Structure 1
C-alpha cells in the first residue's frame, strides 16, 4: 500500500521520516550563524526573537542560550510537541501558520534554513512577508535565510540514494513550473512511502518585489552564514535582512 500526501509541507514535516532523513544537519554551523547574525543585528540580552517555522527548535534553543527571549512557531504539531520538552521561562513553542501574523511583536523575526516559498498560492508568500512586518517592533529586523536558487539549480543532482539506519531514501530532484522539486520514496516495514518537497525558485528580484509591495526596506543581502556579500553565481545562500 502506498501512502500519498497532498499538502506536502503539512504532512512531510509532521512525519518522523523527515527528521530521520535530515538528522545529520550541522548543529555547530547553525549555532555559529545565530551568534554571527545576532551580533550583526546588535541584539541585546533579553531582546525578543520569533523563530518562524522553527521545526523542532534547533535554532530557537541556540538563541535562548545566547540570552534572548525566544518564541518558536511551526505548522507541524509533531515538531512543536517535541520542542515543548525544552520550554522554560524565555523559551516558548507553539503551533502557528506563518501566513498569519503572530499576536505579538518582537525585536527580530527569523525565518531560517529555507523555510519559505512552500506555498502553492503565490499570494501566501506575500502574506507571510506582510505578517513578518506586523510581527516586528519599531526598528526591529526581519531575516529570511533562503537558498541561492541560481547555484542550487546549477548544481542539482537529479537522482541519489541515502541510507539512514535501515531505510534507503530514493531522492529525485528537478525543476518544474517555477519550483525546485524533490521526490522522496522509501519503504519501511513493508509499506511504501512517497513524499514531495517543493520550494518556489525565488531569486533576489522576487523578494525585492515582495518587499516593495509590503512596504518593507531591504537592508542587506548576504550569501553565506559568515554574512559575506551575496553573489548569485557563487553564494550558497540568500540571506535577507529587512525592516
Structure 2
C-alpha cells in the first residue's frame, strides 16, 4: 500500500487502531496547559484531527472546537462524531483559519506528517498566523536521535467476529531529515488472516532543531510526555510535549 493508504482505504479501522489511546487524559492535560499558559480563549483547532476524538472532548469541555485533516474519509467520520463542529480538508503545512484561534493542537505525533524541514517550517508559520495573541500551540514530538528502530507498540481489539492486531514503530536510518512510521494491521476471523503493512514518511528532527524552528515565533516549553502530570522535560527522553505560546 502507498503511504497514507491506511488512512483512506482503511479509515473505518482507524478508531480500532487507536483503541488504546487515552483521549480524555490527553485532552484534559492540554486543557490544563492552556489554562496555565494560554490567553483564556476557547477557539480551538485540532490539526490532523483524524476521526475527531480529541475534538469531541474539547467540545464537551466548552471549547469552540474545529478540525482539519488531509483525508476526507477521516473527516466524514469526524463530522458524524462531532456534528456541531466544523471540519475542513486542508494540508496542515499550508492552512488558513476563518477566525483567530486561541489553541491549536496536534496530537499523536502527527506534526511529523509535515514530512520535511521546510514543510514543518511552513506548518509552524501557518499556526503562528492563525493564533491570536497569547495563543498556544501544543503537540507531541519524537527526537530522531533517540529512536529505537526495534521498538514497536502493539495492541489487539475484538470487533464482531474478527480480532485485529495493530503494531506501530518508528524507523530512522541515522541521517537526514526523514524517518518512517511503520504500521501493521492483522485481521483474523473464521475465513483466515489478512495482513496490511504501510510506511509513512515523516519529518525527522532533534528537539534542538525543533526549538530553532519554533523560537522565532513562540515562547517554548518542553514537558515530559506525561498526560497525568505536568513536569519539565528531563533533557534525555526521546518524547516530549511541546508548549509554544505566540509571541
TM-score, normalised on structure 2? Answer: 0.78
The yes-or-no answer on 1:113 pairing with 2:99 is no
Aligned residue for 2:196, secondary structure, equals: strand
Residue range with higher mean Cα deviation, 196-205 or 53-62: 196-205
The aligned counterpart of 2:171 is: 174
Using a 3 Å threshold, how does the CA distance of structure 1 residues 31 and 209 change in structure 2: closer, same or farther? closer
Q: CA RMSD in A?
A: 2.8
Aligned residue for 1:13, secondary structure, equals: helix
Across the two proteins, how many residue pairs are aligned to each other?
Answer: 231
CA distance in 2, matches of 1:220, 1:172: 26
Aligned residue for 1:238, secondary structure, equals: strand
- 1:186 deviation in Å? 3.6
CA distance in 1, matches of 2:115, 2:237: 28
Aligned counterpart in structure 1 of residue 65 of structure 2, from 67, 70, 78:
70
- 1:172 deviation in Å? 6.1
The aligned counterpart of 2:243 is: 240
The aligned counterpart of 1:164 is: 157
Ranges in structure 2 where 5+ consecutive residues have no aligned partner: none
CA distance in 1, matches of 2:165, 2:234: 35
The aligned counterpart of 1:26 is: 22
The yes-or-no answer on 1:13 pairing with 2:7 is yes
- Cα displacement string for residues 178-204 of structure 1 (whole angstroms, at most 9, x for unaligned residues): 525424254666654221134333222
CA distance in 1, matches of 2:152, 2:59: 38
Ranges in structure 1 where 5+ consecutive residues have no aligned partner: none
The yes-or-no answer on 1:221 pairing with 2:222 is yes
Asked whether the 8 Å contact 1:106–1:136 carries over to 2, the reply is yes
Aligned residue for 2:110, secondary structure, equals: coil
CA distance in 1, matches of 2:131, 2:152: 41
Aligned counterpart in structure 1 of residue 86 of structure 2, from 88, 92, 96:
92
CA distance in 2, matches of 1:208, 1:77: 32
| Residues 178-217 of structure 1 aligned to structure 2 (within 5 Å) | 178-184=178-184, 186=186, 192-212=195-215, 215-217=216-218
- 1:101 deviation in Å? 2.6
Asked whether the 8 Å contact 1:87–1:93 carries over to 2, the reply is no
| Residues 123-142 of structure 1 aligned to structure 2 (within 5 Å) | 123-142=118-137
TM-score, normalised on structure 1? Answer: 0.79
